[in-house]
Amino acid sequence: MPAIWYTALINRIESATPRVRRIWLTLPEDAPDFSFQAGQFVTMDLPIGEKRLQRWRSYSIASAPDGGREIELCIVHMPGGLASEYLFTRIEVGTVIKFKGPDGAFVLPEKIDQDLIMVCTGTGVAPFRSMLLNLDQGNWPDRNIHLIYGSRTREDLLYAEEFLDLTARRPNFQYTATLSRIEEHPKEPWIKKGYVHSGYEELYSEPVADRKFLLCGWTNMIDTAVEKLLVGMGYRRDQVGYELYG
């Protein structure tokens, strides 16, 4: 089936951290139906190149699938990166964005009958935020969910208040932020000093059968995590799923 291209308007832009922007897109009322599953992404056609493939960039949807006409994206600024430069310097409320989608199979299992360990860095949190909102608004599972989020400092953390609120309301949800550039003994019990891998390596060193890891982020993090989980820790291939940003 040919892809449907949607024309949406940017209706809100917020700085989430010094390097990350939250961007909300709204579809016009007469747009074709846009429904998605939590964890999926859209692909934008941005005015940053001549050829189609130079212009296309994918972004995970960070908001929950609520049947509405608005979606939220969460985008990191990469110095010298064409799309992120465009999205940080050349858009404003009212800018028209063309995108296709939703695409992607990085979604929650139909039945959550395993503990889920979500591991991400930076804006790799976007699909997990969508999944967690979706579960929170619908059927929250009985199994444990642990979000392990790697960043450099406290000010880089995205959606921290929401995740802390979720830990207060959902006893089987755990949130750990692993920060690489902070003091040795952080006062907050949910913060650990170190890289994202330190958040799961010790805790889940025993490879039990009913546990699934979902990873999202850039090559270095994903490659290291996959190797640690499969080779180092002995998890099965089907216990590790990932979304690679680049």
* Residues of the shown chain interacting with ligand FAD in the complex, contacts defined by CB under 6 A: 41, 57-60, 74-76, 78-84, 104, 123, 126, 243, 245-246
Beta carbon of residue 223, minimum distance to ligand FAD (angstroms, whole number): 15
Q: How far is the CB of 200 from ligand FAD (least distance, A)?
A: 22
Name the residue nearer to ligand FAD (CB basis): 81 or 186: 81
Minimum CB separation from ligand FAD for residue 130, in Å? Answer: 10
Q: Amino acid identity of 244?
A: L
Q: Which residues contact 28 (CB under 8 A, 6 or more apart)?
A: 7, 8, 9, 69
C-beta closer to ligand FAD: residue 64 or 192: 64
Q: Which residues contact 175 (CB under 8 A, 6 or more apart)?
A: 146, 147, 149, 163, 164, 166, 167, 190
Q: Between 89 and 139, name the residue whose CB sits nearer to ligand FAD.
A: 89
Nearest residue (CB) to ligand FAD, 163 versus 204: 163
Nearest Cα residue to 238 out of 109, 120, 127, 131: 109
171 preceded by cis ω (within 30°)? no
Number of neighbouring beta carbons within 10 Å of residue 205: 10
Nearer to ligand FAD, 44 or 211 (CB): 44
Cα(196)–Cα(149) distance, rounded to whole angstroms?
6
Minimal distance, residue 64 CB to ligand FAD, in Å:
15
Q: Which residue is nearest to ligand FAD (CB)?
A: 81
Q: CA–CA separation, 125 vs 137, rounded Å? A: 18
At its nearest, how many Å lie between ligand FAD and the CB of residue 76? Answer: 4
